[in-house]
Amino acid sequence: MNMGGVFSGAFITNFLGKSTDAGHLGRDFALMSVVILAAVGMLLVFLRPKVKDAA
């Protein structure tokens, strides 16, 4: 997981740099947020967090 995070960070840094040079950074941030929301949704569906009763 750590290696995946490092590779993702390297890709995103390069991608956002090119996006800044092209002048459409805001659009690409919006598209990136859609991908992140989809990933969070998949995590919630597949991991199914359980609430442990504290009482």
Q: Residue 55: pLDDT band by 50, 70, 90 thresholds?
A: low
In percent, the amount of the chain with pLDDT more than 70 equals: 95
- Residue 26 clears pLDDT 70, i.e. is over it: yes
8-11 LR contacts (CB < 8 Å, sep 24+): none
Task: Please give the Cα distance from 50 to 16 (Å, whole number).
Answer: 36
- How is residue 19 written in tokens? 């996006």
> In angstroms, what is the C-alpha Rg of the chain?
16
Q: What is the pLDDT of residues 3-16, one digit of tens each?
A: 999 999 999 999 99
- What residue ranges do the domains of the chain occupy? 2-47
Global pTM? Answer: 0.62
Mean pLDDT of the chain: 89
